[in-house]
Structure 1
Amino acid sequence: MPDIISIGEILIDFVSMESGVTLAQSPGFLKAAGGAPANVAVAVSKLGVKSGFIGTAGNDPFGRFLKDTLNSYGVDTCHMDLTDEARTTLAFVSLTADGDRDFVFYRHPGADMMLRKEKISEDYIKSAHIFHFGSISLIDEPARTATLYAIDIAKKHGLIISYDPNLRLNLWPDEETARKTILSTLNLPDILKVSEVELEFLTGIRDIDSGLKALKDKTSASLILVTRGIEGVDYVYRGERGHVETFKDVKAIDATGAGDAFVAGVLYGIHERINEFKDGHMTSKALQDILRIANACGTITVTKKGAIPALPTIDEVKRFLSERLER
């Protein structure tokens, strides 16, 4: 049984093979498995922790490719369903010259939306230690009800709940619906990770310090993380404010999956110190060590194209950190 379970969307990313061009100008695309919770599930497994995924893809060649891909990385897919109700969701991704991204989704409907409550197994979820989710599966029914039901099970059995909203406004009906839905679910997690842009979106505040204070009042999370790209990560843990620098000595090629790799690094570190986290006794040094691992995971990921193929193993992370300690 897995120690960390992720629930939500799984899809195909078609990533432009040339940076700095629009989707229309791209000469071709690299096919890769994607979807933030699926990326987290694989990243956790590559870091050496037993990982499971709950979600739905189409009963089509792309869906079978996705399930095979997760299996190949050691992710438990016993509760990943292949449905005939819709085709596998697709995303086309264009890259700017510095590796940032723009998305076009083919998803109305998409198979990831078809996750159903009756497919959720309480026995499966209660066996884990950490449960991770995002906001994409909260947009449409039946996936919304299924996701909230699974979170309720996880909370009932004392799992640590992790939440990365992973805002994609072009998937939501409108900005206000996205904001209201995400804000309404901030009472669910123990760990909340948002980007700098998401912090401003949820609080209306651009300043990081003021935004973090405002977000802290809106969530039950004991650990709040704000990722800021090359500026590192700011955090509040049980009222204590901190910052951890990231690594700036690499060339960014594709940022797809970097945030998911960061999340996986956090969950890996929390899993290693799970009793300390649950008891509220984790030291600042221990948390900062975890965040350095998470930053390394994200940094390594941006050096390659595609999400899942770029996610690092724990050996790669240790080597990356060791090389920088020696400098």
Structure 2
Amino acid sequence: MKKVFCVGELLIDFVAEKQGNDLSKATEFSKKAGGAPANVACAISKLGGKGVFVGSVGKDPFGSFLLNVLKKEGVDISLAQVSDTFTTLAFVSLAEDGERDFVFSRGADKELIYDPALKKNFHGNILHLGAATALLGGSLEKAYAKYLFDGLIKEMFISFDPNFRGDLWKDNEQEFIKKCMPFIEKSHLCKFSLEEAQLLSGKTDMYEACDILHEIGAEIITITLGKEGTLVSSENFKKIVPSIIVKPVDTTGAGDAFIGCLLYQIANLDSFNQVFEDNNLLLSMVQKANKAGAITTTNYGAIIALPTKAQLEG
């Protein structure tokens, strides 16, 4: 089984309790571990895979809490760094349908320092780049680009999820689009929400959006559509794979569960070429990943809600 190196942020989600999606009215919050790349690493490890987290937390109680959560879930945290900067925080509100709104207080995640020694472990494995905060500057952004280069040199399977957060890119969406382009160009697999696909392609129609994103360079594209399933697109076919019916209470981590489950399956292939050459195999893998994402929405929080292998196969 191949390792999946997940690069990006690990942070605290303070989830507002007993109110709707207006954070100004919230008075009670629950502390949860979060951060898209960390969620993906946990999703892989909870399914029995080899998730490796590469990111930075603060030298404070929140940072210790986060690393302990990942370790408990079986994630390899040996490459995580600890910074003197305070751990990154996100404040999250939930509407009745489980949809979220975010406000960030950015901290230690931006302090990740590139380690050239990592690439000796990269050959033939998978690199997942979750970009929620990674393109906002700091040493993390520099490390992020260098790890992409190392991954390409070491013949890794490259996965990219832009994780667009409007609160982080207020009135600066064009800069976000520009910074995403090199990663879309070089990735074997890109996972987008519908909003992200439309934003990055400039097209409202998701099929036209896929065509544009393929032209940029993405080989396989998945566009997650919530309860409607996932659009899978490659150079020679496009198909919507339906999801299972659930009653969502919190959509936090659903996309991470999806891509984590998909990467877990890819990591178990004898050859990465199988995912490019066998459309039926790819569709069956996406179907299972849809189930992982749907299960995650039936519980509160991201990591705690990620399914185990037994839950996924049940």
Q: TM-score, normalised by structure 1?
A: 0.91
What secondary structure, in the 3-state scheme, does the structure 2 residue paired with 1:24 have? helix
Structure-2 separation of matches of 1:280 and 1:306: 31
Is 1:223 aligned to residue 214 of structure 2? no
Please report how far the alpha carbon of residue 180 of structure 1 lies from its aligned counterpart in structure 2 after TM superposition.
0.9
Structure-2 separation of matches of 1:205 and 1:52: 35
Is 1:3 aligned to residue 9 of structure 2? no
Q: Deviations over 1:204-242 (max 9, x none)?
A: 2111111111221112x3211111111111111242222
Moved beyond 6 Å, runs of 4+: none
The answer for the alignment partner of 1:297 in structure 2 is 292
The answer for the alignment partner of 1:263 in structure 2 is 259
The answer for the alignment partner of 2:244 in structure 1 is 247
Structure-2 separation of matches of 1:29 and 1:111: 21
Quick check: 1:20–1:97 contact (8 Å CA) kept in 2?
Answer: yes
What amino acid sits opposite 2:145 in the alignment?
L
What amino acid sits opposite 1:63 in the alignment?
G
TM-aligned CA distance change 1:274 to 1:234, over 3 Å: farther
Alignment coverage as a number of residue pairs: 312
Deviates more, 1:257-266 or 1:140-149: 140-149
Structure-1 separation of matches of 2:38 and 2:97: 25
Structure-2 separation of matches of 1:101 and 1:90: 15
Q: Within 5 A, what are the aligned runs for 1:174-185?
A: 174-185=172-183
Which of 143, 159, 162 aligns to 2:159? It is 162
TM-aligned CA distance change 1:141 to 1:120, over 3 Å: farther
Structure-2 separation of matches of 1:210 and 1:246: 22
Structure-2 separation of matches of 1:35 and 1:281: 29
Quick check: 1:79–1:119 contact (8 Å CA) kept in 2?
Answer: no
The answer for the alignment partner of 1:13 in structure 2 is 13
What secondary structure, in the 3-state scheme, does the structure 2 residue paired with 1:239 have? coil
Deviates more, 1:11-20 or 1:39-48: 11-20
Please report how far the alpha carbon of residue 186 of structure 1 lies from its aligned counterpart in structure 2 after TM superposition.
1.3
Structure-1 separation of matches of 2:21 and 2:199: 27
Which of 197, 201, 208 aligns to 2:206? It is 208
Structure-2 separation of matches of 1:49 and 1:280: 18
Is 1:34 aligned to residue 30 of structure 2? no
Quick check: 2:6–2:41 contact (8 Å CA) kept in 1?
Answer: yes
TM-aligned CA distance change 1:209 to 1:138, over 3 Å: same
Q: Mind listing any 5+ residue stretches in structure 1 that lack a counterpart?
A: 320-327
Structure-1 separation of matches of 2:174 and 2:204: 18
Quick check: 1:18–1:95 contact (8 Å CA) kept in 2?
Answer: no
TM-aligned CA distance change 1:21 to 1:218, over 3 Å: closer
Quick check: 1:120–1:150 contact (8 Å CA) kept in 2?
Answer: no
Please report how far the alpha carbon of residue 281 of structure 1 lies from its aligned counterpart in structure 2 after TM superposition.
5.5
Two-structure CA RMSD over aligned residues (Å) = 1.7
Please report how far the alpha carbon of residue 119 of structure 1 lies from its aligned counterpart in structure 2 after TM superposition.
6.9
TM-aligned CA distance change 1:131 to 1:125, over 3 Å: same
The answer for the alignment partner of 1:101 in structure 2 is 100
The answer for the alignment partner of 1:324 in structure 2 is none
Is 1:90 aligned to residue 89 of structure 2? yes
Quick check: 1:48–1:314 contact (8 Å CA) kept in 2?
Answer: yes
Q: Mind listing any 5+ residue stretches in structure 2 that lack a counterpart?
A: none
Please report how far the alpha carbon of residue 284 of structure 1 lies from its aligned counterpart in structure 2 after TM superposition.
2.1
TM-aligned CA distance change 1:4 to 1:158, over 3 Å: same
Please report how far the alpha carbon of residue 51 of structure 1 lies from its aligned counterpart in structure 2 after TM superposition.
1.3
What secondary structure, in the 3-state scheme, does the structure 2 residue paired with 1:51 have? strand
What amino acid sits opposite 1:45 in the alignment?
S
Please report how far the alpha carbon of residue 18 of structure 1 lies from its aligned counterpart in structure 2 after TM superposition.
2.4
Is 1:146 aligned to residue 143 of structure 2? yes
Structure-1 separation of matches of 2:61 and 2:183: 34
Structure-1 separation of matches of 2:298 and 2:191: 22
What secondary structure, in the 3-state scheme, does the structure 2 residue paired with 1:217 have? helix
Structure-2 separation of matches of 1:172 and 1:143: 17
Deviates more, 1:65-74 or 1:277-286: 277-286
Deviates more, 1:194-203 or 1:180-189: 180-189
